[in-house]
Structure 1
């Protein structure tokens, strides 16, 4: 066939390569200092526990581990997650949980479930790039959701959605240590978002991929816990909690979950049956084995490790960045969000940075549904070690200062 493009569905026009995934290819170049990927440090992976778990699973229950299984997910893992969600103030049963192949699959399924072409999604500016990629396949429009309320009213959101040719269908955000900014939404703003979702009668997706990685400060209740407190029962709520083991145990086994009202889970089970039948049973069994024995210790180990790297990056930024550059100071997670002077472009800076100083990061426009935020960049501190952080920030600060000096000289 000579012209494949003419045969693709219209929705493929919304598909874009991930800038982050493309930048990960730079990791193969040994002289690149990369702050680009949101990648856990492999030194933290519980390798021995995982080896032990695979051996135990294959010794004790190989037939089940290697066989087809139910779409809802491995029952003992879902039971473990019921207890885990209870520790977050979320009372639920296994009927409120479905296992997904990573939280990225969860976002794709939720987009498939709720979005029709032309519908509007409310999300923060900026937001998680992977969510935009997952939702874009279903041809939505986006409107900016401001956690503290801003000037937008439910009627204004509805009017904007009608003008775009559809309805407001869902809201999405990361409430704790967001990707990309590292910022956390306070309790009062969480309540405002829940109120907005109820007034608009839409689901609210709570992406909780980084929630366990808090290094300081006080935990705010999850949006789902707050909605249960308001409504009295999880089956009356509209918050859809998306969780993952990728940042706490390991990303390679691709195990995530959705916790939500049972009617929603029932529909998601049908989607999963049609998509991949079920997530790999052996991986679910291994995650359960490791989580049951090591989860708390593993999370504490990760917190200590990443806290030190965050502190090192914040100190390096304070030492090396010129005046006029600002950045967030996250209480957890994996990212720092930098705002450059208005005249600077993150993508252009990245090109010069790779060519001249061999430092990689992610330009901020990729995280904005409307392509704005060109003077922002995302820095990851979970993978590079202290020496790489110090060297990379010194180089990057020097490059940014040079760019700023050139602009001043031209005025």
Structure 2
């Protein structure tokens, strides 16, 4: 029998199962109240609009093109819609600055492949999006904590050079981040650009939740700030990653990258080598639905999610024992809870699923150094207000019991 471990590439040792994907299996159990999956509510998908768009392709005789190979850059009308949408966000760009991917997760994988050689340093926040760590891990980087405004550029450079490494990029989620729900302030965005200038590295801006703001003032994307100071997108170092997964539907796997043309050209070459192009028919229907229904769809999901966020924040205030802290996001899908010191989120999850029938994600998975054991992520996107009230009540009771036992 072949010894597979002997022939696997060294990078395979960095590949691990997603703790979140495993937890999604709990969603199928009717007795579990799940705050685990950071996924959109399927009841909010624009099903009728997609059904009409798919049917229209076949009724109008466009099925041949929809079922055919296509260009690697992406479907032109979809890129044209994105060009206009980016303009509304302050990101002036051309069609050649836009590249369609199979979800923004593919974009992160391509960017890891593009920039990281084994041993290079990637700057990421502590905590950060687990999917980014999984995408980057395959290219064998080292990680350093991106601590915005609290470290000098020289400290990052010196730490990398002491290990014979080079800092290659800074990655962060800017609005209502997964997992914390927090938003990077305008001042911090400028600080990120200043840091990137000093280190001469790109900034990867993960904007998956850009459109899910419920209150507070919108903040310009880092790429918009970069364009304003640089004079144009092709002089920028920021790479913007977006997605239709959180706004229209994740199953279609349509995401996009907006960046300087030299970056886009490299990504197109990767696409040609990997899967040629993203699904033609899915891009066509996303373009159709986005052009006709995007503002109404955004309004619908904002209305639903803001009520659930408010219910979760109120329940946490009502039921969580003293010593527990949590974020208060202005949008997105997540609340980040810091448990009293000494508690372990993974151990709490095991007890919670067994005794209280409540699921969540232990926070340790989101830390590159596996710290943060006393943190958990709660998602409110797929639970109604009554479920949220009951689930947080049970969870608060469990945390209170754990504290009593430790006293």
Question: Does the alignment pair 1:8 with 2:8?
Answer: yes
Looking at structure 1, the residues matched to 369 and 304 of structure 2 have their Cα atoms a distance apart, in angstroms, of 35
- For the Cα contact (< 8 Å) 1:141–1:164, is it kept in 2? no
The DSSP-based 3-state class of the residue aligned with 1:224 is: helix
Alpha-carbon distance in structure 1 between the residues aligned to 2:315 and 2:141: 40
CA contact (8 A) 1:74 1:284 kept: yes
How many angstroms apart in 2 are the aligned matches of 1:164 and 1:90?
37
After TM superposition, give the deviation of residue 164 of structure 1 in Å: 3.1
CA distance in 2, matches of 1:360, 1:162: 42
> In 2, Cα distance between the equivalents of 1:289 and 1:50?
9
Instruction: Kindly indicate whether the alpha-carbon contact (under 8 Å) linking 1:119 and 1:164 is maintained by their aligned counterparts in 2.
Output: no
Q: Return 203-212 or 385-394, whichever deviates more.
A: 385-394
Paired with 1:355 and 1:107, the residues of 2 have a C-alpha distance of 35
Residue 387 (structure 1) aligns with = 386
Asked if the contact 1:107/1:135 (under 8 Å) is kept, the reply is yes
The 3-state SS of whatever aligns with 1:170 is strand
Separation in 2, partners of 1:2, 1:225: 52
Secondary structure, counterpart of 2:169 in structure 1: strand
The normalised TM-score by structure 1 is 0.98
Residue 229, structure 1, aligned to residue 228, structure 2: yes
**Mapped partners of 2:258, 2:2: distance in 1:** 45
Equivalent residue, structure 2, for 1:182: 181
Identify the residue that residue 96 of structure 1 maps to in structure 2: 97
Partners of 1:114 and 1:178 in 2: CA distance: 23
Q: Residue 310 of structure 2 aligns with which residue?
A: 311
Runs of 4+ in 1 over 2 A off after TM superposition: none
In the alignment, what sits opposite 1:116? 117
Question: What displacement does 1:3 show?
Answer: 2.0
Instruction: Say whether 1:401 aligns with 2:400.
Output: yes
1:72 counterpart = 2:73: yes
- The Cα shift of 1:35 comes to 0.4
Q: Check if 1:352 corresponds to 2:351.
A: yes
Matches within 5 A, 1:159-174: 159-174=158-173
State the Cα distance separating 1:391 from its structure 2 match. Answer: 1.0
Map 1:244-263; keep pairs closer than 5 Å.
Answer: 244-263=243-262
Secondary structure of 2:252 counterpart: coil
The DSSP-based 3-state class of the residue aligned with 1:252 is helix
Q: Deviations over 1:318-346 (max 9, x none)?
A: 11101110100000000000000111000
**Superposed, which structure 2 residues align to 1:134-173 within 5 Å?**
134-147=135-148, 149-150=149-150, 152-173=151-172
How many Å apart are 1:153 and its aligned residue?
A: 1.4
* Deviation of the 1:358 alpha carbon: 1.1
> Does 153-162 or 261-270 show the bigger shift?
153-162
Task: Give aligned pairs, total.
Answer: 406
Once residues 332 and 91 of structure 1 are traced to their aligned partners in structure 2, the CA distance between those partners, rounded to angstroms, is 25
Cα distance change on mapping 1:63 and 1:157 into 2, 3 Å: same
Instruction: State the partner residue of 1:47.
Output: 47
Partners in 1 of 2:183 and 2:355 — Cα distance?
Answer: 34
Query: Which structure 2 residues correspond to residues 238-249 of structure 1 after superposition, within 5 A?
Result: 238-249=237-248
TM-score of the superposed pair, with normalisation by structure 2: 0.99
Query: What are the residue-to-residue correspondences of 1:314-325 with 2, within 5 Å?
Result: 314-325=313-324
Secondary structure at 1:403 match in 2: helix
Superposition map of 1:80-91 within 5 A: 80-91=81-92
CA distance in 2, matches of 1:78, 1:58: 22
Pairwise CA distance, 1:95: 0.2
Q: Which residue of 2 aligns with 1:17?
A: 17
Unaligned runs of 5+ in 1: none
